[in-house]
Homo-oligomer: A and B are copies of this chain.
């Protein structure tokens, strides 16, 4: 069902150094239903990851994306897999949006062979190069120059595609972002800097970390747009606009006003630096999944029951993926020494006791 439905975004876009796109977004029943399914899958997946972490099946850091799903999903709706995406450590849903599978995700989270990085990367280091996903980066801010570099590659290769570099409000103060933005502007790189402003960098509220938390304006001489990042249609509209802009004029910043429901990572209860009221207020009034549910219902595209059934189906898929992932074996010991280099030159590498463990690098 692909008849056009036009929907107004929740709030107007706020523009800096450019004209804002229209608030009226074209969509269709199929797209809306897909939005619902994709976001509900992400939601369920992250909640399952939370449980797996608590069951000690996931180790180390684990940064959940629930609350922010509209950004990943809306962005994908505006672009193709030939466009590139790079993000930080909060990367599970971005990977899913790029076409990754639940099985690859849960396997990676549990450090299994079936993981998208064969269990070697972990939660923060998901990649899917063949559909333009370049990670999954653990160093705050570093993915922004890298994303500009992807755009450099696209322009150099005359591919006619663009790159999206996602970063948080905390990362928005990083100097390398300003350096990369200046270069991107000088070289007209087709890059979109997407600031996912979830209003906290770990326990630090945006205004405590930034003298000017108007992130869409922080590019100064670079255009920017403030977007309701809880509204998947606004995100789609903004990304479409930004892609066109970037191909023609070079870099642009999108500030997505969004929210993370979970704490920063699993060690953070997420409740010491913000009130429970604040969280539940966002859940009640701005939740991206509920917003689409309402749209689906109000346009009579599905019944409440059908959506509930779909959610049950998703839950089943997630549980099945987890069960399968648990069956995936740990990596072979030999994997310790693979992929250190693309070309290992036949050199010997060593384990902790080099007289006991050594390997010739492939």
Chain A residues engaging chain B, CB cutoff 8 angstroms = 173-179, 182, 185-186, 208-212, 217-218, 220-222
Contacts and interface: CB of A to CB of B under 8 A. Distances in A.
A8 to B, nearest CB: 32
Most B CB contacts (10 A, CB to CB) among A175, A212, A218, A221 go to: A175
Contacts of A218: 220
A17 to B, nearest CB: 11
A99 to B, nearest CB: 34
5 contacts: A175-B177, A175-B179, A182-B210, A182-B211, A212-B220
Given A211-B221, A212-B220, A212-B221, A179 B185 contact: no
Given A173-B179, A212-B220, A217-B220, 19 more contacts: A173-B178, A173-B182, A174-B175, A174-B179, A175-B175, A175-B176, A175-B177, A175-B178, A175-B179, A178-B178, A182-B210, A185-B211, A186-B208, A186-B209, A186-B210, A186-B211, A211-B221, A212-B221, A218-B220
Contacts of A210: 182, 186
Nearest to A177: B175
Contacts of A221: 211-212
A271 to B, nearest CB: 25
Contacts of A208: 186
Nearest to A175: B175
A185 B212 CA distance: 9
A177 to B, nearest CB: 7
Contacts of A175: 174-179
Nearest to A220: B220
A13 B220 CA distance: 21
A256 to B, nearest CB: 20
A60 to B, nearest CB: 28
A147 B314 CA distance: 56
A221 B186 CA distance: 22
Nearest to A217: B220
A104 to B, nearest CB: 35
Nearest to A186: B211
A222 to B, nearest CB: 8
Contacts of A179: 173-175
A186 B185 CA distance: 27
